[in-house]
């Protein structure tokens, strides 16, 4: 599994910004030879930082420095292609997934655009599994749009079984920092 590429969900990526990171996630990340950051995860973290700027400027500054450090490392970045946009549009039009458009839909003051559909569309377009600790949302998505695998690095469990990689997946378009 360490030679497989995984698309990192925001909650896996942001683990290292915590005072007490989950040691299993940290261990798993160190064991990976290839991981990719989707545009949606960067966007979600930047939204969180912008929100913190209003309420807690010192925390926002610390998070900005942390994210800048992450983005200076040699991660791969899955480019949002027209295929990603097409799949994301299909997902946005699926009535069964409207609850994923926003985080905290029941708390309007905390509500922000959700990015799980964007991460899922990227994973489907690139045919690569997602590494996440969020089983509920991705299991809802895969019921309507089969995902190429969802893995929880905190528990070591495949939430959605991994699809077998094909030869075409060896060279997918990425940008390397």
Question: Which residue carries 């060896």 as its tokens?
Answer: 170
First-to-final CA distance of the chain: 23
Fold of 5-176: Rossmann fold (3.40.50)
| 149 neighbors 160 (Cβ within 8 angstroms) | yes
Residues in the chain: 177
Could you tell me the two tokens for 91? 């997902």
pLDDT of residue 168: 54
Q: Report the run of H or E that residue 113 belongs to, with start and end.
A: strand 112-113
How high is the pLDDT of residue 143? 96
Domain boundaries, the chain: 5-176
What pTM was computed for the model?
A: 0.86
Task: Give the model's pLDDT for residue 106.
Answer: 72
Tell me the pLDDT of the chain (177 aa) as tens digits. Answer: 334 799 999 999 999 888 899 999 999 999 998 999 999 999 999 998 998 998 899 999 999 999 999 888 878 989 899 999 999 999 999 999 988 887 776 776 666 778 999 999 999 999 999 999 988 999 999 999 999 999 999 999 999 999 876 655 445 555 444
Distances 73 to 6, 47, 85, 94, 136 between C-alpha atoms, Å: 16, 21, 26, 36, 30
Q: Map tokens 């997918």 to a residue.
A: 172
Burial 103-117 (b: 16+ CB within 10 A, else e): beeeeeeeeeebbbb
């Amino acid at each position: 599994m360490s030679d497989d590429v995984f698309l990192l969900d925001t909650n896996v990526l942001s683990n290292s910004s915590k005072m007490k990171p989950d040691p299993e996630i940290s261990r798993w990340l160190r064991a990976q030879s290839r991981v990719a950051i989707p545009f949606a995860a960067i966007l979600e973290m930047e939204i969180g930082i912008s929100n913190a700027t209003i309420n807690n400027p010192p925390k926002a500054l610390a998070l900005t420095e942390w994210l800048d450090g992450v983005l200076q490392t040699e991660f791969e970045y899955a480019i949002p292609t027209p295929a990603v946009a097409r799949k994301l549009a299909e997902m946005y039009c699926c009535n069964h997934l409207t609850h994923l458009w926003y985080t905290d839909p029941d708390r309007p003051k905390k509500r922000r655009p959700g990015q799980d559909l964007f991460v899922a569309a990227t994973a489907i377009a690139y045919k690569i599994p997602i590494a996440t600790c969020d089983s509920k949302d991705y299991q809802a998505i895969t019921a309507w749009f089969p995902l190429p695998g969802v893995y929880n690095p905190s528990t070591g469990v495949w939430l959605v079984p991994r699809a077998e990689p094909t030869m075409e997946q060896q060279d997918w378009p990425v940008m390397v920092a």
